[in-house]
A and B are shown apart, each in its own frame.
Chain A
């Protein structure tokens, strides 16, 4: 039987926690941003679109470094956050969540945006003639119709968070129990003499986890589609 060692359990639990926090916090921002990009025209839209997609095209180390400069204890934003709210990102698992969330953000927004774009705006018009104002139209028509895409986006982002490496190690380093997620643990084992066996086990865990996420995403999307045609 495949039982996890204490170190493996620790890395896995940390990974799940980091990815969970990252997705939970970025989800509402992602939904609003995806809707804005899908439906609204405003000055600077192309620029915003570019910034959202940056983590997809820039080396992860660059993102990690930028986070370190801005969100670290000495960073402009980081210092302010620490002084105002007492929140510290540097070298903490929250920082790992931030790095993972930023890296996964474009994937999440893309999936959701496609989903918003696929909604027939004439349904929203119909809702308005029935007495719903802009906010209610969003809550009662737009959002429910976008749910399959939102779920897909969230799961993709979750899987991407689990796999985040470059930005994380650059920003919050590789601290056992605090920022050593699955990929970092794997990296550490690969660097250690005689670590191959342990590394292989982590590879299997990573693959199983990623595969499970994709499977859940696919099944959910299908379920929801089915429900709509029933």
Chain B
């Protein structure tokens, strides 16, 4: 990639009962803005796209300044070259799918390279939809067209605001691979707004946590998810540590796949990925158990020697234990077990993970390491 497309955001906004104070940077790849509903993620996306104006601050892509309150710089949305995929698609009802896709290129400044229509149509598999009206498309098809329409504006940044939120599970599964391809094949940085941790783990390289109008933390998905004090924000039930792993082997007899990370081994139900492929898996805290001795004669396939790093109290009868298995791993155990095992930081333990607990939903395919090599 020749041009520097790093997005730098540092904005403040205050209006009837809602204050925003956000600051983060998004480099190449997919950056997730994660937070619960009403946290201000969409407002933040609108500020970046220029649909809303911050009270003060600075927004730039590379060395292109889009907004700066000190110099008074303001680039209107139509000149920002930021593609925006909205939650509800927002396809033009008076145009066919082809009309929607062909909408943006005519506004490109003369002399700019035209995006390859056929390539984008092929990437998103839109060929058979071209003559249809948006009203006659399924939710998933609509979102694919919306993505294609945004890409054909030749954006230097693509914002996707909860593009899967209005879809049912089946259509979500239909769209996800397209977003992955986009992330891996189109050289456009993506800002992905979501409140679903499974989407973030699966898609994002970097994540920014937004809470109550503020950007609370940002970093790689592995870093953020392995951070105990962010657990109230990343969600207790579904969340867990995220590990970057590579596919080391397949066991056809038992239908298992062997994954490797920092010299360790992890067995999971068979994954359809070639040897050496880089993946990311989320191991939910509730699926990790602890033992002081190495269990023998157990059905558990994954027994990892670990060291206790940190223990976080929660409101309920459970605590969360941050473990070091060369990378962070989080286990949720009862307060009773904590007392029985007398766990303290520095104590060596064995982390026990059921292979069956790691399912498709916990996988991020084609993770960051593959693309950066």
Interface size of A by CB at 8 A reads 20
The DSSP consensus for interface residues of chain A is helix
Residue from A129, A132, A228 within 8 A of B51 (CB atoms): A129
Within 8 Å of chain A (Cβ to Cβ): is B66? Answer: no
Contact partner of A136 (CB less than 8 A), chosen from B92, B107, B150, is: B107
Q: How far is the CA of A123 from the CA of B51 in the complex (A)?
A: 12
Interface residue tally for chain B (C-beta within 8 Å): 28
Provide the residues of chain B in CB contact with A126, threshold 8 Å. 84, 86, 90, 92
Cβ contacts under 8 Å, B108 to chain A: 131
Give the complex CA separation of A22 and B54 in angstroms.
46
**Which residues of the other chain, A, contact B177 by a CB distance below 8 angstroms?**
none
Interface bits B72-111 vs A (CB < 8 Å: 1, else 0):
0000111111111010101011100000000110011000
Known A141-B92, A144-B94: A130·B133 in contact at CB below 8 Å: no
| Chain B residue, CB-CB nearest to A228 | B93
Q: Are B104 and A128 in contact (CB under 8 A)?
A: no
User: Is there an interface contact between B90 and A130, defined as CB atoms closer than 8 Å?
Assistant: no
Question: Does B197 reach chain A (CB closer than 8 Å)?
Answer: no
Given the interface contacts A123-B90, A140-B103, does A132 sit within 8 Å of B84 by beta carbon?
no
- In the assembled complex, which residues on chain B have CB atoms less than 8 Å from the CB atom of A128? 50-51, 76-78
Answer whether residue A40 sits at the interface, using C-beta atoms and an 8 A cutoff. Answer: no
A220 to B51, CA, bound (A): 35
Instruction: Report chain A residues within 8 Å CB of B81.
Output: 131
A133 lies within 8 A of B78 (CB): yes
Set of chain A residues within 8 Å of B88, measured between Cβ atoms = 122
Q: A129-B77, A133-B76, A229-B136 are in contact. List 13 more A-B contacts (CB 8 A).
A: A120-B90, A122-B88, A123-B93, A126-B84, A129-B78, A130-B103, A130-B104, A130-B107, A133-B78, A144-B94, A228-B94, A229-B133, A230-B135
Chain A to chain B contacts (Cβ below 8 Å), 22 pairs: A122-B88, A123-B92, A125-B51, A126-B84, A127-B92, A128-B51, A128-B77, A129-B50, A129-B82, A129-B150, A129-B153, A130-B83, A131-B81, A132-B103, A136-B107, A144-B94, A145-B94, A228-B94, A228-B135, A229-B133, A230-B133, A230-B135
Interface of B with A (CB < 8 Å)? 49-51, 76-84, 86, 88, 90, 92-94, 103-104, 107-108, 133, 135-136, 149-150, 153
Binding site for B on A (CB under 8 A): 120, 122-123, 125-133, 136, 140-141, 144-145, 228-230
